[in-house]
Amino acid sequence: MSAVVRTEGVASGAGIVFTDVSKFYGEVLGVNGVTLSIEPGITALVGPNGAGKSTLMNLMTGLVSPTRGQIAVLGHAPRDPAVFRRLGYCAQFDAFPRGATGFQFVAGFLRLFGYEKEEVSLRARAAIERVGLTEAAKRRVAGYSKGMRQRIKLAQAMAHDPAVLVLDEPLNGLDPMARSEFISLFRELASEGRHVIVSSHILHEVDLIADQLVMLHQGYVAAEGEIPEMREEMVVDRPMQIAVRCSEPSRLASRLFTADHVIEIKLLPDGDGLIATTRDADRFYLLLNELASRGEVGVEAVAPADEDAHAVYRYLVGSEAQ
């Protein structure tokens, strides 16, 4: 398995820094040899169930301690109370204190940050307003819909105005409208200079969310970076898919097959184009331009077909990508 791991900035005091971190649960591997640096903005941890996303999140929040290696969150050890003042965590579990209303849930834990009563009330109300639950704040959380419960968890995680927000599968169970709202809120929070770390096993989702990806597979970091940059680093001498919209796809396919770097061509079902797999994208584009300029084919649009997280992940870990 190729690993494209950027280690620049790992030694810096800012951000969230993992240095050769491993976590084993007895004989079972959680994560192994993780070295990475997470900067402000939205970072997505991606991978199937069991890849190590939650373990990585639990490590950075201090809920579990590493078997080996070091972690620094904003320059502090994860279990330092200074970290908890600046970190909010929204767990994947749909669990709440029994009998609590939305407001009681948020305010109850906010008190543990030492705020005075009035400040607790103000902050709880502000956080609840920010997730759009003001009208439901006095209702019991047990009666909330799944989307509302996700929202109130988010309100609880950010009520103390943390610099680092760790959100484990925050979009699970949300309808498209709620997803869109959450993504907007994540972007807003990131634009304020916060670290927003989001996990997901749904790859196309992270294309919409993340500035940076950390791809995990069976406890290892398979790749880390921005999606286009990662693809660029990986595809040197590696196949890449390119979609071409054109008027005569069969004719174009026959011409493209004369090039030695083209290894596969699939005609699109609608008959208006094809997807070519090439080992050399630059030479492919040159050839396509040449054919178009000679008027042999009418090219309407050209785009990389796999410059998304799903393709990157599929490339990195093979058939297990979802």
* 17 in Cβ contact with 72 (< 8 Å): yes
**Rule CB under 8 A: which of 157-196 touch another protein?**
158, 160-163, 168, 181-182, 184-185, 188, 192-194
**Rule CB under 8 A: which of 122-141 touch another protein?**
122-123, 125-127, 129-132
Contact between 322 and another protein by CB under 8 A: the answer reads: no
Sign for the CA dihedral angle at 66, 72, 76, 82 comes to negative
Residue placing its CB nearer to another protein in the complex, 157 or 297:
157
Determine the Cα–Cα distance for residues 311 and 322; give it in Å rounded to an integer: 10
Alpha helix (H) ranges present in 3-159? 53-60, 81-84, 102-110, 117-130, 146-158
Among 116, 237, 270, 282, binds another protein (CB under 8 A): 116
| Site residue total, another protein (CB under 8 A) | 72
The CA-to-CA distance between both ends of the chain, in Å, stands at 17
Residue placing its CB nearer to another protein in the complex, 117 or 294:
117
Determine the Cα–Cα distance for residues 280 and 49; give it in Å rounded to an integer: 34
Q: Give least dist CB 316 to another protein, A.
A: 19
Q: Which of 168, 199, 164 is nearest to 41 (CA)?
A: 164
**Rule CB under 8 A: which of 22-51 touch another protein?**
25, 28, 30, 40, 49-51
Determine the Cα–Cα distance for residues 193 and 161; give it in Å rounded to an integer: 12
CA atoms within 13 A on the CB side of 132: 10
**Rule CB under 8 A: which of 81-110 touch another protein?**
81-82, 84-89, 91-93, 95-100, 104, 108-109
Q: How many CB atoms lie within 10 A of CB 159?
A: 26
Residue placing its CB nearer to another protein in the complex, 100 or 259:
100
Residue placing its CB nearer to another protein in the complex, 199 or 278:
199
**Rule CB under 8 A: which of 191-230 touch another protein?**
192-194, 199
What's the DSSP call for residue 246?
E
Contact between 52 and another protein by CB under 8 A: the answer reads: yes
Q: Give least dist CB 194 to another protein, A.
A: 4
Q: How many CB atoms lie within 10 A of CB 65?
A: 12
Residue placing its CB nearer to another protein in the complex, 262 or 321:
321
Contact between 252 and another protein by CB under 8 A: the answer reads: no
Q: Give least dist CB 64 to another protein, A.
A: 4
Determine the Cα–Cα distance for residues 201 and 163; give it in Å rounded to an integer: 24
* 39 in Cβ contact with 212 (< 8 Å): yes
Residue placing its CB nearer to another protein in the complex, 76 or 231:
76
